[in-house]
Amino acid sequence: MNAKIISNRRVSPTCWEMNLSCPEITREAKPGQFVMARIKNDVDAFLRRPFSIHDIKDPSSFYLLYKVVGKRTEAMAGLKKGDSLDILGPLGDGFTIDADLELAVFVSGGIGAAPMLFLLRSLVKGKLKPKNLYFLTGAKTKDEILCTKAAHRLGVQIFITTEDGSLGKKGMINEELDRLLEKTIKDKLDKIEKNKVSIFASGPNPLLREVSLIGEVFEVSCQISLEANMACGFGVCLGCAVKVKANHLGFKYKKVCSDGPVFDSQEIIW
């Protein structure tokens, strides 16, 4: 389907936020889902690329947050208002939001923040108290920290780490998650049933593995959004297979595009 660009603005030295008019996407999209996109009439781009649905603020348009990493995303950064993308979606299995959820912790690394804003906004609209929403985001340096202003406007609590110490605490965001669960949230965990607490994470696999281990230690459910190279987006090409646990076989493979991109972290074989 055709999605016309409303705006396309730089939000960091390497990342851009694009607003696209496409009611067909906004009517069906759920947090954690993605679209496959390519520049309309671009003869050099045979395959679409996957992009998380970053945010939805109104019924007619949605946002993508993307990082310029190559020829295709560089071309996207040059698009203007009125240009179009060829979009397929929404695709994938998104985040599961339990009706009795009372406390949520969001963990992202770098461009892994892309799917988190849509989820945050959905939970705030769902009347979950902002004081029980914690947004943790980390990156190598301050220029790579994303989405904190939007998260602040939603009223959630924000924690930032950078590896070089240029913004927030110096260190890794998984270390901040461990500290947060051990100290800041510990009293709340004692009062709230653990099945009403969830961690939602997105970012590079090493981070997701660490977050998964922390969730296991604290006995808190953890959903992770995996990143993978995708050629089709709906399970045909098998290019995004991930190894998961299977009781009778020991392991099996699932497809990030159609079975995910969101998984229970305890399901993944790291």
Contact 161, 169 (CB under 8 A): yes
Residue type, 62: F
Task: Say whether 22 counts as a known binding-site residue.
Answer: no
Q: Tell me how far apart the alpha carbons of residues 74 and 86 are, in angstroms, rounded to a whole number.
A: 16
Task: Say whether 222 counts as a known binding-site residue.
Answer: no
Task: Say whether 179 counts as a known binding-site residue.
Answer: no
Contact 99, 54 (CB under 8 A): no
Task: Say whether 147 counts as a known binding-site residue.
Answer: no
Task: Say whether 51 counts as a known binding-site residue.
Answer: yes
Task: Say whether 240 counts as a known binding-site residue.
Answer: yes
**Class of residue 189 by CB neighbours under 10 A (exposed 0-12, middle 13-18, buried 19+):** middle
Task: Say whether 60 counts as a known binding-site residue.
Answer: no
Task: Say whether 232 counts as a known binding-site residue.
Answer: yes
Which parts of the chain are beta strand (E)? Answer: 2-10, 15-21, 34-39, 49-58, 61-67, 84-91, 103-109, 133-139, 157-162, 169-170, 197-202, 221-225, 241-246, 250-255, 262-264
Binding site residues for FAD, as ranges? 49-52
Binding site residues for [2Fe-2S] cluster, as ranges? 232, 237, 240, 257
Binding site residues, as ranges? 49-52, 232, 237, 240, 257
